[in-house]
Amino acid sequence: METERIVGTSAPRKEGRDKVTGKAVYIDDMSLPGMWYGATLRSRVPRGKIQKITFSPEIAWDEFVVVTAKDILGKNCIALITDDQPCLADGVVNHPEEPILLLAHPNPHLLSKAIQAVSIEYQPLPALFTIEESERQDQIIWGKDNTFKTYLVEKGDVDSVWAQADYVVEGEYTTGAQEQLYIENNGVIAAFDPDRGMTLWGSLQCPYYVHRALMTLCALPENKIRVVQTETGGAFGGKEEYPSMIAGHACLLAMKARRPVKMTYDRAEDMVATTKRHPSRTRHRTAVRRDGKILGGEIEFVIDGGAYTTLSPVVLSRGTIHAAGPYYWPSIRIRAKAVATTAPPQGAFRGFGAPQSLFAIERHMDRIAATVGISPEEVRRRNFLRTGETTATEQTIHEPIDLNRLLDRGLELSNYHAEKQRFARENASGATRRGIGIATFLHGAGFTGSGERYLASEVEVEGCADGTVQVLASSAEFGQGTKTVLCQVAAETLGLPYEDVGIAQPDTGLVPNSGPTVASRTVMVVGKLVQLAAEKLRQRLRAAGLPEKYSRDEFRNACAKYVAEKGALKEWAKYQAPSGIFWDDEKYRGEAYAAYSWGVYIAQVAVDLATYSVVVEDFVALQEVGRVLNPVLARGQITGGVAQGIGYALYEKVVWENGRMQNGQMTNYIMPTSADLPPIRVYFEELGNEHGAFGAKGIGELPMDGPAPAIVNAIENAIGVRFDSIPLLPEDIYAGVAESFDVAGAPPSQGAR
Amino acid sequence: MSHPHGQREISLVVNGEAKTFRAYPMERLLDVLRHRLGLTGAKEGCGEGECGSCSVLMDGALVNSCLVPVMQAQGSRIVTIEGLAQEPELQALQEAFLECGGAQCGICTPGMILAAHHLLDKKQNPTLENIREGLAGNLCRCTGYSQIIEAVAAASKRAGATE
Amino acid sequence: MRSDPADYELVSPESLPAVLSLLAERPGEWLPIAGGTDVMVLYAAGKLTARRLVSLWNLPELRCIELRDHEICIGAASTYTDLRQHPIVREEFPVLASAASWTGGIANQNRGTLGGNIVNASPAADSLPALLVYEAELVLESVRGERRVPYISFHTDYKRTVLAPDELVRAVCLPRRFAGYFQHARKVGARNAQAISKVCIAVLGQVINGVVEDVRIALGSVTPVPLRLSRTEDVVRGSVLDARTVQRARAAAIEEIRPIDDIRSSAAYRSAVSGNLVREFLTRLAAANDKA
């Protein structure tokens, strides 16, 4: 293999210049002639039957276009997995902020007043606000039993391990909702022409998801809908499925108004009305041998999906599969369920179930260590998965990953042992207590099980007459570097300069469906397809006379000649499931993911005993990712994900009241500023991988999994108080400390753990 | 005393160009820049002065333009990201952002670059602490700030080198 | 943006007398707006009830810092940046300079004003405890004339002040007699920058021969109006600064405050942290005295 020229280098971001000069065009920067503006009237009660809608007379309603469920020509639902979520509530609302009707007007400033001028009378219906209330089933608010989905994973003979156990370790771990908080709020523009059909521009991750949803909603055929992704200011999963809703709304208004309609949310609406990370509760019961080896155990994993299904079954799936962590379980039973509550539906957020269940197992490992009397490091070493061993779903790990060695490196990079000893000494006095904590974890890349086969992704690579090459894929850029790395892959494969390769804007009228931009699949799955299509393109040109080794000019001439003589020069590649990947959807067993990335994260924290606040002072993020295609971009993914993980652990709390977020403003929903975060130290290992482009695996979501448990483990090390719930705010730390500390205000003596 | 109602004549200098137009005095400077003047570089991320993506310079001071009624900008010199692109020193910042990965999704980037420019204007050799403080009013959800801070540090070294 | 700009008037008279005439003409009708960092947030959220506003931004009479022998008078429209940069504020009133540096980020410091912070009267305002310990006096002005009010009497209840409908805060005057004091301040927010305070403390102390000659303790965010902890001060003043005094002071402080549960924090947390901050201050005061 030749030395790679582009892959593995920090090729400059394709759209970078536009972003640093303010030229990049986001949806709210766009305007169409004759465009009107839309707004949504939302439920002001948790759950109820709509009795009466009154339009107050002081508004000139004849100037407005009003859309209700009755205006929907297709099916009143946001097509996704289960079609249970209405686009507009029809007679009943099942959560606060549920959309009921839509208004459009040429003057956006009149919309807020108009929304206030619509009053609705409701007959209240019973509401459930927590996992516990939902599973008790005192009321049924969804389906027959408030349960969107369940999974059962069984391996070995769990019931027999208890008798052999030297210890039975139990724990319950909970995580709260988390708001994606992309700095660009949701926004779309819809334009409808009776002949050409519907065009929708928007800030989104998955143009084809929106396309499919609009087909169902608007009863339009496939070729009469065009969805175009505009420059997207952050997404993190929050724009995976939600945009179908706002897009549906804008389209309904555009069809009725016969004009283009722009809908954008302000921060308050975006925060209270759109999806968040599923809150979770995990219960562990583990049979452990004297030396800390896990014999087997039971895990109950529950997520709170809000009022409608959306993606809960898939979030549950990923959380379930990751619940066992990077460890070998001779036997295990995982019972998982996603339940309904009266809240706006939860949805995709980076990690997608794994941060929840990995928080639990990583806290639980420290608990096992404490029970058995060994160190957090040692308990992990004794249980790490090894090449050739099977996971909870009985997938044999073929990757040559050596987690012990990875942990060695992480401990060395963080100076773990020396720091831990130093803290134990220094913590004896003083108002600041320091601690250090470990999290080890994995993250599967691509869709679970048969998901990729079902997606059947396609990409195209086109050779243009001027010798440049265009990648055509539906993978969206929203900061992660999609455009850059896919062009790097194509350029490398074709032996062309990076500057000669471009990528089309994801426009369903132009690009094939390469699946959604989610699940850490872009580089691994779509990148591989780009590599294959580019190779096919090269072969096509070779067959037409291009020599084996060619210069840039020769390539250009070959393209020009081909296009002149034969027309379009386009090659495509379609996903083929690798052989030997077998997944049983019934038994939830088999090869869950084609590849895993592996992480060792180590957090060092300082707890201020005067204010109970925690500051992360040092953070080592070490991961094995197959191949780093672009060092600057890869590092950016990790630092950004770790920052979100630190927020998840220590800062970001959704305050709920009767199913509605009360702190829907940036002043009161707290994400870290530059003054709150340490430099995040990022290190990679590359063992390659047969499946991904140039051996790359996914990295987008991995960094979300490790920070929270590493931090909470560190806090326990610092002050000797065990916390099993996040977010962990100073108020919570105070409450825990007040219970544990003696009257004089001193913490219990430092346990040497 | 009679008081004018309705739109008023507003004159200000934006990116070195004199602009005169009619606007309601309580139109936000952010909206005036974006919709009346077509300068969409400044963004609305929160409307409460928390995220800094609307940051511009007003008479040399960094301000959140979502919190400035245009009437209070009467007669001011406003500089937006579009204006900064002309200055050579900013080119060092922009280049540094590109090299260091300081821009991912890009939505915070115009405000962030303005805040960095404002910082470097006031402090030629900022420490990492100075940089953290100078950017603390600009939220970034993508980067975790590491590569932004590196970009600003790199740009300040370069600027120092050429003096 | 949930308000319609067409519904609002904003006038910007060129001088302070012109502003005062306007306020006198129709008392209570015109809402003064300085840097806008509070008013514009309400406006964008559709929650601003006032429809007519008068701008105080950059009025030269209000944005100036006047130094006299015995006091410094800070124009009410001085921004936090103005405070941070003024050499005498930094040197003689470091607690106020610190508070200014903790209020919002740089962009909000360039626009937020001391007068705005005072009149908005949020119990969580960062600069108000500093004004209490420095025994600030407010200069209030209207067409009827000028009057001085000790800052400690300015707030009467949650978000209520003695300001008459035709009156403005013109200046904040601080006596220049605290240079010899040990000065300390700390803000506890949800994060290190750009955070609304959960608790903040401003404290001055003077110890002579191990005895506390004078002490001033003010806490923000723990009472409906910013509070001087006078009963706690009484416990400490005149006492030997030893461990017992520190314990008694801490207990007295917790007794004296009335923290609440709200969206940002809890009463229990605010209470505990207040006690810790008082203890922390007195411990540092003792240490500083030992060194001297």
Q: Is A254 helix (H, G, I), strand (E, B) or coil?
A: helix
Minimal Cβ distance to A677: which of B39, B93, B145: B145
Statement to judge: residues C115 and C149 lie in one domain = yes
Distance from CA of C270 to the nearest CA of B (A): 24
Looking at residue B4, what is its pLDDT? 61
The tally of domains found in chain C comes to: 3
Q: Find the residue in B nearest to C82 (Cα).
A: B61
Q: What is the DSSP string of B61-119?
A: EEEEGGG-BGGGGTT-EEE-HHHHTTSHHHHHHHHHHHHHT--SS-SSHHHHHHHHHHH
Q: Is residue C270 part of a domain?
A: yes
Contact across the interface for A636 and B104, Cβ inside 8 Å: yes
The two three-digit tokens of residue A393, written as one number = 């779903």
Residue A436 has pLDDT above 70, yes or no: yes
Q: Which pLDDT does position B158 carry in this prediction?
A: 84
- Count of beta carbons in the 10 Å neighbourhood of residue A345: 29
Residues of B in contact with C1 (CB under 8 A): 28, 31, 44, 47
User: Which of A116, A609, A675 has its CB closest to that of C192?
Assistant: A675
pLDDT band at A739, cuts 50/70/90? confident
**B-C interface: how many C-beta pairs under 8 angstroms?**
112
Report the pLDDT value the prediction gives residue A81, as an integer from 0 to 100.
Answer: 94
Whether residue C207 is found in the same domain as residue C253: yes
Q: In sequence order, what E strands does chain C have?
A: 9-11, 30-33, 52-55, 65-67, 71-75, 137-142, 145-150, 155-157, 160-161, 168-175, 182-189, 197-208, 211-220, 227-228
Task: Give residue-wise pLDDT tens across range A491-505.
Answer: 999 999 999 999 999
Chain B CB contacts of C5 under 8 Å are: 23-28
- Identify the CATH number of the domain in which residue C88 sits: 3.30.465.10
Average pLDDT of the segment spanning B103-124? 96
d(CA B50, CA B65): 11
B61 and C81 within 8 Å at the Cβ level: the answer is yes
Tell me which amino acid residue B156 is.
S
Residues of B in contact with C193 (CB under 8 A): 133, 136-137
Position C231 in a domain: yes
Please check whether residue A22 is in contact with residue B82, taking contact to mean a CB–CB distance below 8 angstroms: yes
Q: What is the mean pLDDT of chain B?
A: 93
Choose the mutation target among A17, A18, A20, A620 for the interface with B, i.e. most B CBs under 10 Å: A20
Instruction: HSE, CB side, 13 Å, CA atoms: give it for residue B128.
Output: 10
What pLDDT is recorded for position A456? Answer: 94
**pLDDT tens-digit series, residues C103-143:** 989 999 999 999 999 999 888 889 999 999 999 999 999 99
Residue A300 has pLDDT above 80, yes or no: yes
Q: Give the distance from residue A40's alpha carbon to the nearest chain C alpha carbon, in angstroms.
A: 13
The pLDDT value recorded for residue B89 is 56
Task: Answer yes or no: do C111 and B50 touch at CB < 8 A.
Answer: no
- Containing A70, the helix (H) or strand (E) segment is none
pLDDT for residue A742 is more than 90: no
CA gap A17, A499 in Å, rounded? 13
Check if A34-125+186-264 and A280-448+588-740 are the same fold. Answer: no
Q: Give yes or no for a contact between A200 and A227, defined as CB atoms under 8 angstroms apart.
A: yes
pLDDT tens digit sequence for C239-283 = 999 999 999 999 999 999 999 999 999 999 999 999 999 999 999
Each residue's pLDDT tens digit, A255-269: 999 999 999 999 999
The sheet that has C71-75: what strands, in order across it? C65-67, C71-75, C168-175, C137-142, C145-150
- pLDDT for A750 equals 39
In a domain, C60, yes or no: no
Return all residues near A623 (Cβ < 8 A) that are at least 6 apart.
Answer: A597, A598, A599, A600, A638, A683, A684, A685, A699, A702, A703
The angle formed by the CA atoms of residues A341, A274 and C263, to the nearest 5 degrees, is 75
Interface confidence, given as ipTM, is 0.96
Name residues whose C-beta falls within 8 Å of residue B60's C-beta, 6 or more positions apart in sequence. Answer: B77, B121
C43 and C128 inside one domain: no
Shared domain for C187 and C170, answered yes or no, is: no
Q: What is the pLDDT of residues A527-564, one digit of tens each?
A: 999 999 999 999 999 999 999 999 999 999 999 999 99
Residue B91: pLDDT band with limits 50, 70, 90? confident
Kindly state whether residue C148 falls inside one of the protein's structural domains: yes
Q: How far apart are CA B113 and CA C148, in angstroms?
A: 44
Flag whether residue C34 sits within 8 Å of chain B, measured between CB atoms: no
Q: Is C200 on the interface with A (CB under 8 A)?
A: no
- All structural domains of chain B, each given as residue ranges with its CATH number in brackets, are 8-83 (3.10.20.30), 87-162 (1.10.150.120)
The answer to whether the CB atoms of B5 and C12 lie below 8 A apart is no
* Interface contact C190, partner B, CB < 8 A: no
A752: pLDDT confidence band, cut at 50, 70 and 90? very low
| Percent of residues, chain A, with pLDDT higher than 70 | 98
pLDDT tens for each residue of A340-362: 999 999 999 999 999 999 999 99
Nearest CA of chain C to the CA of B136: how many Å? 6
- DSSP string across C74-98: EETT-BHHHHHH-HHHHHH-HHHHH
* Alpha carbon separation from B119 to B96, B149, C182 (Å, rounded): 15, 12, 31
Domain extents for chain A?
34-125+186-264, 280-448+588-740, 451-574
**Which residues in chain A touch residue B89, judged by CB atoms under 8 angstroms apart?**
none
- Can you tell me the distance from the alpha carbon of C271 to that of C259, in angstroms, rounded to the nearest whole number? 6
CB A552 within 8 A of CB A497: yes
CA atoms lying within 13 Å on the CB side of residue A153: 31
Q: Is C241 helix (H, G, I), strand (E, B) or coil?
A: coil
In angstroms, the separation between the Cα of residue B87 and the nearest Cα of chain A is 12
Instruction: For domain A34-125+186-264, give the fold.
Output: Aldehyde Oxidoreductase; domain 3 (3.90.1170)
Instruction: Determine the structural domain holding residue C171 and report its residue range.
Output: 65-175
Q: What radius of gyration do chain B's Cα atoms show?
A: 16
Sheet arrangement for strand B77-79 = B17-23, B8-14, B77-79, B55-58, B61-64
Q: State what percent of residues in chain A have pLDDT above 90.
A: 95
| Contact criterion met (CB < 8 Å) for A20 and B104 | no
Q: Choose the closest CB to A673 out of C192, C196, C269.
A: C192
Query: Cβ contacts of residue C260 below 8 Å, gap of 6+?
Result: C267, C270
Q: Are residues C201 and C262 in the same domain?
A: yes
Mean pLDDT of all residues in chain A? 96
Q: Are A336 and A323 in contact (CB under 8 A)?
A: yes
- Cα distance between residue C129 and residue C135, in whole Å: 10
Higher model confidence: residue A16 or residue B91?
A16
The answer to whether B6 faces chain C, any CB pair under 8 Å, is: yes
In the predicted structure, residue A1 carries a pLDDT above the cut 50: no
Identify the domain boundary among C144, C175, C206: C175
The predicted pLDDT at position B163 comes to 43
- pLDDT value of residue A740: 74
CB < 8 Å to A20, chain B: 93-94, 97-98, 102-103, 106, 109, 113
Q: Residue A119 has which token pair? A: 């009053």
Whole-angstrom Cα distance, residue A329 to residue A294? 6
Q: Which residue from A610, A668, A738 is facing C277, i.e. has the nearest CB?
A: A610
Using CA atoms, how far apart are residues A229 and A231, in angstroms rounded to an integer? 7
Using CA coordinates, name the residue in chain A closest to B149. Answer: A674
Spatial neighbors of A672 by CB under 8 A, at least 6 apart, are: A643, A646, A647, A651, C191
Please give the average per-residue pLDDT across C171-177, as a whole number: 98
Q: Is residue B162 pLDDT above 90, yes or no?
A: no
Per-residue burial over A647-672, b if 16 or more Cβ lie within 10 Å, else e, is bbbbbbbbebeebbbebbbbbbbbbb
Cβ neighbours of A425 (radius 10 Å):
9
Asked if C264's CB is within 8 angstroms of A109's CB, the reply is: no
C45–chain A Cβ distance below 8 A for any pair: yes
Two tokens at C272?
A: 């505990």
Interface with B, mutate which of A10, A19, A271, A681 (most B CBs under 10 A) = A19
pLDDT for the residue numbered B1: 44
* Rg of the Cα atoms in chain C: 20
pLDDT the model gives residue A748: 44
C-alpha angle with apex A201: A196 to A205, nearest 5 degrees?
125
Nearest to B136 among C11, C81, C194 (CB): C194
Residue of B5, B28, B62 lying closest to C106 (CB–CB)? B62
Alpha helices in A46-168 (DSSP H): 111-116, 131-136, 161-164
- Tens-place pLDDT, residues A374-427: 999 999 999 999 999 999 999 999 999 999 999 999 999 999 999 999 999 999
For residues B72-96, give the mean pLDDT: 87
**pLDDT for res A450:** 85
Note whether A446 and A528 are within 8 A (CB): no
Q: Is the pLDDT of residue C69 over 70?
A: yes
Last residue in a domain, options C160, C175, C190: C175
- For residue A447, the one-letter residue type is F
Chain B residues within an 8 Å CB radius of C3: 26
Per-residue pLDDT tens over the stretch C219-231 = 999 998 888 999 9
Q: Give me the pLDDT at residue A744, please.
A: 43
What pLDDT is recorded for position A749? Answer: 42
C273 and A676 within 8 Å at the Cβ level: the answer is: no
Topology of the domain comprising A451-574: Aldehyde Oxidoreductase; domain 4 (3.30.365)
Contact A109 C3 (CB under 8 A): yes
CATH number of A280-448+588-740: 3.30.365.10
B116 touches chain C (CB under 8 A): no
Domain of residue C32, CATH code: 3.30.43
